[in-house]
Structure 1
């Protein structure tokens, strides 16, 4: 009992001491407990904030680790594509649905059909029909972002014309630099489809005719005589396609036992003629509609001469004798429409640059029986 009393007394003494000490500091026991809880809450809140900051920092660091550094030497552009590789793509692709909708020849009736049969050009050989139909099927094919070959063709054209090594974005105003009319080249391919890109690809990838392509491209950038290069190229394809459909190229195709190669050469020959006419006669964008119409009619009347003239031009280049800039070997009997106003038009170069470019498809169609321009 004595020892228990001593412990009890000691406990009472300690309680009084704590109470006295608390009173001396003007703090009650409840205040001490409340202060402790508040301090603990503040500590927990600070710890939570720190944890969240650490977690966010870790996430940001993880994200940085997932980003691979891109050095200049790592920016490998897509490989250029040759015309033959692109053509092989279409030769090995199922184009059955497109082949059902092609019109490889003109539908003629009545006297027009009889006259064409008796006096018109020969029909294309049966063993060339498949190749001819392939051409028209490609002209029905639209640009497909999901096809790597299509994208490589587009990139190759841009890089060869601008002499750049890096790929460019699929969409953007940079396409206007090579003569498309907007940020998406696909919108300019109406009527000729992917065939127009194939022709431009041939133009820039054949080493013998690439210098001509760059000369024409340079003229298209002229401050006064400028024109949209790729849109003009599309119109050259349209003229070539019309000539093939109207069978004015059949004789040459039969002779060479080729369709694609003949069409390529005719496209280049037509572009050469337009280039020399445009340059020598000081044409501007305001003359484009009449010039294109004239070039089309003249090309279809003289396909053999056009092709021979291209051959002569290339021979002169190979021999290093230069080339003539005026189309004298195929000069017209009458002045070209708009000749009298060409000088006046050249003085308003800026006005011409803002004008809408007139393509062959926008001109009044010529009729031959039931024939219409596409």
Structure 2
């Protein structure tokens, strides 16, 4: 019943309301959003919803075109400027907006387009990395693995490539490559980024993993958090973080930063939960994920690893 009412409202009354507001304000819905909604996630979400709900044939074609570009990762470099220019021009023509008068709209709308389809492109980029299997015959993969060890254990040298020493930083066996099967190279890239870009924080978290009561497998937990970060990105929950944080086209580094925030905060949540043992991991992780999802439902939420956190 509620779905039918919503469908009727969306199909019949929403266009009437938009028409009425256009006549009374002289502004189309996209203009009202860009002028009247705060920047970041609130504005970008509003623009995204308006474009996806449009009945205009030209706008629908534009959305499909941009989706194809993002999926095929062609939204980069000089191509990005041309794509943004074309998208803005299409909307200006369809909505009959004078760019000389509404130059602020041109800028604000272009930024929204950049974030919306930059996010979609990031999903494609992250998925490709996730599907890339760790290959011990690939020097670049092996180099990243050694860099992870050197960053976390700078005072201890590896005895060999396959060794029980890997279990010190939380891998399950003597060869870490077996633990990357689920998340592929993405799991390693996340761990390496956190351990190098937020080195103090990573060492702080690693020290907690050695706790006699609350200890856990650092690397395995990290890979599980990669799965969480990927799920939040893919289902759109992470849009709040990216839309409020990114000042330009969202990059893989921003995804790694998002992951780093999750890892640091999960460690704190884990310790505060005072689990009896590692068998409570799934339960604690689920509670933590629900907490993050709840925070992300607020479009004004921002996640940042501050300097004070980095140097704990």
Taking structure 2 as the reference length, the TM-score comes to 0.56
**2:144 matched residue in structure 1:** 153
Question: 1:269·1:307 contact (CA, 8 Å) conserved in 2?
Answer: no
Take 2:183 and 2:154, find their aligned partners in 1: how far apart are those partners?
26
1:277 to 2:266 alignment: no
| Alignment deviations for residues 14-68 of structure 1 (CA, whole Å, 9 cap, x no partner) | xxxxxxxxxxxxxxxxxxxxxxxxxxxxxxxxxxxxxxxxxxxxxxxxxxxxxxx
Structure 2 counterpart SS, 1:191: coil
Equivalences for 1:322-361 in 2 at 5 Å? none
Question: 1:173·1:182 contact (CA, 8 Å) conserved in 2?
Answer: yes
**2:237 matched residue in structure 1:** 248
**1:228 matched residue in structure 2:** 217
Take 2:130 and 2:177, find their aligned partners in 1: how far apart are those partners?
13
**RMSD of aligned alpha carbons:** 2.8
Structure 2 counterpart SS, 1:242: helix
The aligned length equals 197
Q: Which runs of 5+ in 1 are unaligned?
A: 1-98, 101-121, 323-374
Q: Report the CA distance between 1:244 and its aligned residue.
A: 0.6
1:299 to 2:292 alignment: yes
Take 2:240 and 2:289, find their aligned partners in 1: how far apart are those partners?
18
1:310 to 2:304 alignment: yes
Change (3 A) 1:266 1:317: closer
Q: Which runs of 5+ in 2 are unaligned?
A: 1-70, 73-112
Question: 1:176·1:182 contact (CA, 8 Å) conserved in 2?
Answer: yes
**1:177 matched residue in structure 2:** 168
Take 1:286 and 1:131, find their aligned partners in 2: how far apart are those partners?
34
**1:130 matched residue in structure 2:** 121
Question: 1:157·1:200 contact (CA, 8 Å) conserved in 2?
Answer: yes
Taking structure 1 as the reference length, the TM-score comes to 0.48
Larger Rg: 1
**1:31 matched residue in structure 2:** none
